[in-house]
A = this chain, B = another copy of it.
Amino acid sequence: MTTIQDIADKLGISKSAVSKALNNAPDISETLQKQVLETAVEMGYTKLRRYKKPVRKLCIIVQRDNIEYEEPHHFAYDIVMGFRQAAEPSGCEVAVVPVDVALQREVSYDAFMLQHDFSGAFLLGFSLGEPWMQDLKTSHTPAALYDNHIIGNPMTTYVGIDNEEGMNLAVRHLKELGHKKIGYISSALGSHIMQVRHRAFFQAMRSHGLKADPSYAGCSYYLSECMEKHLPRFLDMGMTAIICCQDTFASAAITQCRQLGYRVPADISIIGFDDIPMSAYTDPPLTTIRQNRIQLGKSGFDALRMLMNGVPIGTVLLHAELITRGSAGISYPG
């Protein structure tokens, strides 16, 4: 185990200089502090391991360019709330830290965590290519990641809902309503979650004995392309129901179907994914698969606690939940 003395020896400076640098003392140069932090990270030094203190300071790191959390109608608001609800009664302090790519370029993830004395992090909204996602492959600080999966680092955990189960519930519901020809509309398959949901759609169709060749899915980066190309194609093919990769797409699909002269759900049923707050207020209100965001936040804390207790937990998935509102209805043989 790396000690402050080890770092001092390596850099040829005093133990107290190392200690000052690690604790943000004002009387130390920025250059030296940077050097100490980098060396400490490189040598695998962590305060948590060193002092064996009970764990207290945690952070929720939000990639603010990708996910919003500040107001109740924002997607991540309840995730942050749920984490706090679970963490604070356990005696942990929770800081919410918005970051962007510029900050990630400036300081490495481990150095950031060490500098601010955080024992663990819950990360929201990161894309695969960002600098800290690279750092997390080898980080020594426990981290739970919402909807991101890092292979092979026992100090990281993926937290999310079970998208396969969710897709299964959606297809089962439509089948029970009499639908047989069901299409899937998705944004581009660039993220882990979009890939998982796309694969899950075909799996769910197969396991319910329904036909689904590749033409039954339409994926485009642009929402407009999904609405103007894939949706009309599905209607021409005689689809009676469409599952969308997320609620915003489903909401747009309802509007677009109506503009094309189709009634929802009398002519075509629509199911969304996520149950974002606006989904109760579309017309008709959206039948969708809920990501329970309060529970996702709580699970984030539970997963982090397990990691901090030495349980090398890698994946924690919440049960998905079907919320039936008005946008999916009975299919009458035409």
* Contact surface of A with B, Cβ cutoff 8 Å: 151-154, 161-162, 165, 168-169, 292, 295, 298-299, 302, 306, 309, 311-321
Contact = CB atoms under 8 A, between A and B. Distances in A.
A148 to B, nearest CB: 14
A197 to B, nearest CB: 16
A306 B302 contact: yes
B319 A317 contact: no
A168 B150 CA distance: 12
Contact of A315 (B162, B168, B169, B309): B162
Contact of A316 (B151, B169, B292, B316): B316
Q: Which 8 A-B pairs have the closest CB atoms?
A: A315-B317, A314-B319, A312-B319, A154-B319, A162-B314, A314-B317, A298-B311, A295-B311
Tallying the copies of this chain within the complex gives 2
Nearest to A317: B315
Contacts of A299: 306, 311, 313
Contacts of A153: 319
A315 B169 CA distance: 16
A10 to B, nearest CB: 29
Given A151-B165, A152-B168, A313 B313 contact: no
A309 B154 CA distance: 26
A302 B151 CA distance: 22
Contacts of A165: 151-152, 314
Given A152-B165, A168-B152, A169-B152, A295 B312 contact: yes
Contacts of A152: 165, 168-169, 319
A292 to B, nearest CB: 7
Given A152-B169, A298-B309, A302-B311, 13 more contacts: A152-B165, A152-B168, A153-B319, A161-B314, A298-B306, A299-B311, A302-B302, A302-B306, A313-B317, A313-B318, A313-B319, A315-B315, A315-B317
Contacts of A309: 298
A306 B292 CA distance: 14
Contacts of A292: 312
A314 B306 contact: no
Contacts of A151: 165, 168
A319 B153 CA distance: 8
A34 B153 CA distance: 51
